[in-house]
Amino acid sequence: MTSYCRCHHHHHHDHDHHDHHDHNHHDQHKKTVIIKNPKSGLVLDGSEYIVKVQNFTKSPGQFWTLECVDHGRFVITNKANGKVLDIEGGAKNLASLITFNRHGGLNQLWYIHNNKTIISAGGNLAIDIFQAKYNPGNRVIAFNTHANENQLFQFQYDPGQFWTLECVDHGRFVITNKANGYGYRGGVKSLANLITFRRHGGLNQLWYINNNNTIVSAGGNLAIDIYHQRFVAGNHIVVYNTHAKEHQLFKFDYENGFQPQQDRGAIIRHVETGLVLDATEFEVKIQQYTGNPTQLWTLEPIGDGRFIIKNRGNSAVLDIEGGANSGAYLITYEQHGGENQQWYIKSDRTIVSAAGDLAVDIHEGNCYPGNFVIAYERHGGPNQQFNVEYQPFPPPPPYQAAAPPYQPGGPQPGFQPGHGVRPQPPTSQQRPAIIRNPGSGLVLDGSQYEVKLQRYTGSPAQLWIMEPLPGGKVIIRNKGNGDALDIQGGADCGANLITYEKHGGINQQWFLNPDNTIVSAAGNLAVDICEGNCYPGNNVIAYDKHGGANQQFHIQYQ
Domain boundaries defined on the chain: 38-152, 266-390, 432-557
Across residues 171-200, what is the average pLDDT?
A: 67
Whose CA is closest to 214, among 244, 191, 184, 237? 244
Other Cβ atoms closer than 10 A to 441? 24
223 Cβ partners below 8 Å, 6+ apart?
214, 215, 216, 217, 239, 240, 241, 242, 243, 244, 248
Q: May I ask the CATH architecture of the domain 266-390?
A: Trefoil (2.80)
Q: Which helix (H) or strand (E) holds 18?
A: helix 15-31
Asked if residues 239 and 205 have their Cβ atoms less than 8 Å apart, the reply is: no
Q: How far is CA 496 from CA 15, 82, 449, 452, in A?
A: 49, 42, 10, 9
Query: Which residues share a beta bridge with 84?
Result: 77, 100
Query: Which residues share a beta bridge with 376?
Result: 359
Confidence of residue 170 (pLDDT cuts 50, 70, 90): low
Across residues 509-529, what is the average pLDDT?
A: 93
Q: Which helix (H) or strand (E) holds 25?
A: helix 15-31
Q: What is the radius of gyration, based on Cα positions, of the chain? A: 26
86 Cβ partners below 8 Å, 6+ apart?
97, 98, 99, 100, 107, 108
Q: May I ask the CATH architecture of the domain 38-152?
A: Trefoil (2.80)
Across residues 500-522, what is the average pLDDT?
A: 92
Measured CA to CA, the distance from residue 14 to residue 203 in angstroms comes to 36
Q: Which of 208-212, 305-309, 507-511 has the lowest mean pLDDT?
A: 208-212
Q: What pLDDT shows up at residue 448?
A: 84
Fill in the amino acid letter for 17: H
The 3-state DSSP class for residue 17 equals helix
Q: Which helix (H) or strand (E) holds 478?
A: strand 473-478
327 Cβ partners below 8 Å, 6+ apart?
374, 375, 376
Q: What pLDDT shows up at residue 314?
A: 87
The 3-state DSSP class for residue 182 equals coil
Whose CA is closest to 412, among 434, 432, 439? 434
Residue 166 in this model has a pLDDT that exceeds 70: no
Q: What pLDDT shows up at residue 280?
A: 83
Residue 548 in this model has a pLDDT that exceeds 50: yes
Query: Which residues share a beta bridge with 68?
Result: 74
Residue 74 in this model has a pLDDT that exceeds 90: no
Measured CA to CA, the distance from residue 300 to residue 308 in angstroms comes to 5
Measured CA to CA, the distance from residue 487 to residue 542 in angstroms comes to 7
Please state the length of the chain. Answer: 558
Fill in the amino acid letter for 340: N
CATH number of 432-557: 2.80.10.50
Q: What pLDDT shows up at residue 415?
A: 28
Q: Which helix (H) or strand (E) holds 542?
A: strand 540-544
Has this prediction a pTM greater than 0.75? no
Q: Given this chain, do its domains 38-152 and 432-557 carry the same CATH topology?
A: yes
Q: What pLDDT shows up at residue 455?
A: 82
Residue 16 in this model has a pLDDT that exceeds 70: no
113 Cβ partners below 8 Å, 6+ apart?
119, 395, 397, 398
pLDDT in tens, 448-493: 888 999 888 778 889 999 999 998 899 999 998 899 999 998 888 8
Residue 312 in this model has a pLDDT that exceeds 70: yes
Q: What is the distance of C-alpha 400 from the center of its chain?
A: 14
Residue 391 exposed, middle or buried by CB count within 10 Å (0-12, 13-18, 19+): exposed
Measured CA to CA, the distance from residue 326 to residue 356 in angstroms comes to 9
Measured CA to CA, the distance from residue 148 to residue 143 in angstroms comes to 11
* Percent of the chain whose predicted confidence (pLDDT) is above 90: 35
